[in-house]
Amino acid sequence: MALKRKPAAPSPAIATAEIISLRANGKPCRRTDYLAREEPLEIRVRGKSVAITMRTPGYDAELAAGFLVSEGLIRKRAEIVEIAHCQQGEAALHGNVLNVFMAPSVSIDFERLTRHVFASSSCGLCGKASIEAVQQHFPPVTSKVRISTKTLTSLPGKLRAEQEAFDQTGGLHAAALFDAKGKMLVLREDVGRHNAVDKVIGHAFMRGLLPLEKQVLLVSGRASFEILQKALAARIPIIAAVSAPSSLAVEFAQENGQTLVGFLRGNAMNVYAHPERIHARAAAMPNISQPQTMQAVSDSRLNGTEPNEPKRNKKGNLCN
């Protein structure tokens, strides 16, 4: 692993710790290590606590806005008057309570919160009732936007080049929005992958850019059900992940019209749902059936192919 870079300037996303560095055949030495900061944030709407999440400080207003969009509590920029940290009591010292001030005419249905109000940085807000519950709030996407395989394969490199806090800590997830030509619109990092997604959605919301019907969401890790749900709330039609999707994420994408790409690495990728938005130079994109059963996965392994990696022919090229 490459050595971590020293931060050019103090960052709210980075903490330090004095450690002992060991090598198998070397002498122990003391040094300063740079850590991804993780702190709680409580989000309040009209004085009512709606969520507590463990996040990396920075872009808290975007995080709150993105969370409220993904929960279906807000839809238009004009519905929010201001988002500000609490300025009273102990909360003012720590900066860990955020107040969202809504326009007086906006009616808030707090019962639309379909999850518990506590979230951990690893799994997000847990306990979603079902895909059907989400669909009651957000209809499937119908965007006709298309993107080339060449453009898609260029995105991870662009994302990685902008992960400044990850370079310094090695401990942050990233999410980024791109247009169909591969231009990066925004990138955010956080200890929670779901927080990074909320931040980019919140960034777009605060600038009046929703719905994101022509954009691509790229995440640096795996694609979970929750990430697909958040993308659906923002109307994002194409979601790509450097790592694997979960089975529920694949099912969710198929049912909600979302193009889902996993293992986007080098010049290869796996397309798990709605391939019609991706155009390949060499050949037309085939249709995708329902998710593989366990028997189908077992059969593929017996035949020498691995379902989690793109199939290749004898020359090493991607199969048509």
- Which residues have a catalytic role annotated? 123
The Cα–Cα gap between 63 and 197 comes to 8
Q: Which of 92, 85, 91 is nearest to 63 (CA)?
A: 85
Q: Which of 44, 59, 11 is nearest to 204 (CA)?
A: 59
The Cα–Cα gap between 180 and 279 comes to 12
The Cα–Cα gap between 221 and 224 comes to 9
Q: What are the backbone dihedrals phi and psi of residue 52, each rounded to the nearest 5 degrees, phi first?
A: -130, 120
Q: Render 139-182 in DSSP notation, one character per residue.
A: PPP-----EEHHHHHHHHHHHHHT-HHHHHHS--EEEEEEETTS
The Cα–Cα gap between 9 and 7 comes to 5
| Torsion, CA 181, CA 187, CA 193, CA 194, rounded to 10 | -80
Q: To which residue do tokens 């306990």 refer?
A: 127
- Count of other CB atoms within 10 angstroms of residue 263: 20
> Position 117: which residue type?
V
> Position 232: which residue type?
L
